[in-house]
Chains A and B, each alone.
Chain A
Amino acid sequence: MLKNEIDGEAYRRMLNIRGFEQAITRLIKEGEVAGACHSSIGQEAAIVGACMALRNDDYMSGTHRSHGHPIGKGAELKPLMAEILGKATGVCKGRGGSMHLTDAKVGSIGESAIVGGGIPLATGAALSAQVRGTDQVALSFFGDGAVNEGAFHESLNMAAIWKLPVIFFCENNGYAAVTSAVSTHGQPVIARRADGYGMPGITVDGQNFDAVYAATKEAVARARRGDGPTLIEAKTYRFDEHCVGLFINGNYRPKEEIERFKKEGDPIVLFKAALLARGYTESDLAEIEAQAKRAVSDAVAFAKDSPFPEPKEAFDFVYGSPITSTSQRAAR
């Protein structure tokens, strides 16, 4: 057993994300997955480092690349995988899919496929916590592309003036789809944008779990104390294409760069080395590795065995207080 619960759980969640994404890549090849999937492989330390600094009842918003976020916050894998396959047992009952893998049970308030769309939502959840007088915080995950949206600017400004308990967490993987951050940012150090809003900004090595965890923990403590928001920029790297299976005709990122990150910057390899250096044994870690492998294969089996929703159920959840419109009547 690991001596430190955080270490063991962090390692497990990182492995769960890696295994979950690898399983999805296989399922896509097997033709089991409809629609697009955006893999988090390479970004596990940034995701888990941030999530481990949160409580279960803290809020979190995600992005189109968000399989990792609910897993990082401790969600059960089975309903997530079933959602990816569009099954009735999916966490969103087949209404959301890969880009909206929301699990409210772990504080997730939605993954927005509109770039930057989750930032005001998390800021609003922080406002809600402040108004209700709880000590919850909200953390918004977004990419380097999202910081060029107006929603980013407006949210950071309002969070700062009202000292909202929110952490703006940028996973800067260097590319917004196939456009480099270097070519789209007047100020390439994203953390420095924090100055413009009067909040602290910090850049961390997003491939290093310990660095991300420490930085986020400090930002969370600050938010919980009532001292307001923090912008964290985690420098990370996406190992796969923007979208699994996407064929990009053109070299928008150098092959050597990809190879270098895979060889020297794999967050799981780096974290494992850190754990071994800290005195954990190979067999300590092998146990967690085996459990993660089993959790993923159990999730795949559960998802495959689950039924699809009935077509008539497409009309559920349209309104909070239900109505039936004329066009819905006509469709039925």
Chain B
Amino acid sequence: MSATKSITYLDALGLAQREEMERDASVIIIGEDISLYAAGGAYGNVDSKRIRSAPISENGFAGMAVGAAMTGLRPIVDLTIASFVYLASDPIINQAAKVRYMTGGQFKVPVTFRASMRHNQANAAQHSDRPYPMFMNIPGLKIVTPATPSDAKGLLKAAIRDDSPVLVFEDNDLWAVKEEVPIDPDFIVPLGKAAIRREGNDVTIVSVAGCLKPSLDAAAALAKDGINAEVVDLRTLVPMDTDAILNSLGKTGRIVIADYAHRTCGAAAEIAAIVAEEGFDLLKKAVRRVTTPDVQIPFSPPLEAPLYPSSATIAAAARSLM
């Protein structure tokens, strides 16, 4: 094992950014309130030209990042809260995702868009979005959803080094979670590879983004009842590691998909469709999705909390298949 250091999910993201900015002079960062962190050395000892604290102009600076990516830079766009991604969605969808294709491969667009998602934090409907399913519908974008500090570092670094536009959707409520994270500056978590977080033979729980913890808690609860759940952390939504899902299903024959995002046309819906098309013969029971129902996220905590998947609802879904 290579050397590690105990750091938080948030520090792992910062470390990934700093390492990549120090490694490659073409990496720049652009976003709101960046200067505050730059003063603290968050981006390392780099030319201040590469650190752009932008006005509140998400559409403009996201589009500029695309133009910069087409002309030799590797911009990281910090969009902060995921609900703000909508303001930048035109350049992400109409430019970043399409430029390479529309120009017959004349350009690559190595740009990374970062956005953090909140849940159960009383932020109400405009600060609680999980927009990744919408972007899964756009050919040309890659999408990662790290659920651990090591993945936060390794996936963000892989995103920055990738020659396609990559959206990094981070779970804000994991920011304070600590674990041993590899300190090797070339530690990368490859895009498109799921992780088996727990092995089991009875039921597969596919976890999307921050649903990993409740999925593992559900598996622990199920184990007490003699049910061995396998937990697959997808890590990357595009490209999706469908082999990992189908291989696990081959072992268990039962599958639950857990995702904090809304239900309709969500990541869980796509996984369910893939399972139905490519894994139908492996299924002993129908596919179960545990998602947030199609309701705006309310402010009041007693209204908000029950809407999300929990270890209890994930475990209940798994039990219903036994």
| CB proximity of B210 to chain A, nearest CB, Å | 23
Q: Which residue of B lies closest to A121 (CB)?
A: B67
* Distance from B71 Cβ to chain A, minimum over Cβ atoms (Å): 4
A249 at the A/B interface (Cβ < 8 Å)? no
Determine whether the beta carbon of A128 is less than 8 Å from that of B63: no
A114-B103 contact given A123-B60, A127-B67, A151-B60, CB 8 Å threshold: no
Known contacts A100-B103, A110-B70, then 4 further A-B pairs from the complex at CB < 8 Å, ordered by chain A residue: A104-B107, A120-B64, A126-B67, A132-B26
Inside 8 A of B49's CB, which chain A residues have their CB?
130-131
How many chain-A residues does the 8 Å CB contact rule pick out? 53
Give the docked Cα–Cα distance between A132 and B260 (Å): 41
Q: Decide: B64 and A155 in contact? CB cutoff 8 A.
A: yes
Which of the segments B92-100, B123-131, B146-154, B174-182 contacts the partner chain?
B92-100
A127, closest chain B residue (CB): B68
Within 8 Å CB of A90, what residues of B?
104
The yes or no answer to A264 lying at the interface (CB within 8 A) is no
The yes or no answer to B86 lying at the interface (CB within 8 A) is no
Chain A residues with CB under 8 A of B201? none
B140 lies within 8 A of chain A by Cβ:
yes
Is A323 in contact with B192, judged by CB distance below 8 angstroms?
A: yes
B101 engages A317 (CB within 8 Å): yes
Interface CB pairs A-B, < 8 A, 23: A91-B104, A100-B103, A102-B102, A104-B106, A109-B70, A110-B99, A110-B102, A114-B90, A114-B95, A120-B67, A121-B67, A122-B67, A128-B67, A151-B59, A154-B59, A155-B60, A158-B61, A317-B100, A320-B109, A320-B164, A325-B239, A325-B240, A326-B274
A143 contacts chain B at the CB level, 8 A cutoff: no
- Minimum C-beta distance from A310 to chain B (A): 14
A158 and B60 contacting across the interface, CB-CB below 8 Å: yes
A13 smallest CB distance to B (angstroms)? 21
B94–A102 touching, CB < 8 Å: no
A117 and B100 contact, Cβ closer than 8 Å, known pairs A109-B70, A151-B63? no
Q: Does the CB pair B67–A92 fall under 8 Å?
A: no
A128 to B101, CA, bound (A): 22
Q: A residues bordering B, Cβ < 8 Å?
A: 59, 61, 90-96, 100, 102-104, 109-110, 112, 114, 117, 119-132, 138, 150-151, 153-155, 157-158, 161-162, 316-321, 323-326, 330
- Residues of B bordering A, CB below 8 Å: 26, 28, 47, 49-50, 52, 54-55, 57, 59-73, 75, 90-91, 94-95, 99-110, 139-140, 142, 162-164, 192, 238-240, 242, 274, 277-278
Q: How far is the CA of A117 from the CA of B63 in the complex (A)?
A: 8
Q: A328 to B138: give the CA distance in the assembly, Å.
A: 13
Could you tell me the distance between the alpha carbons of A122 and B64 in the complex, rounded to whole angstroms? 7
Residue of B nearest to A61 (CB): B67
Contact A158 B54 (CB under 8 A): yes
Q: How far is the CA of A262 from the CA of B282 in the complex (A)?
A: 71
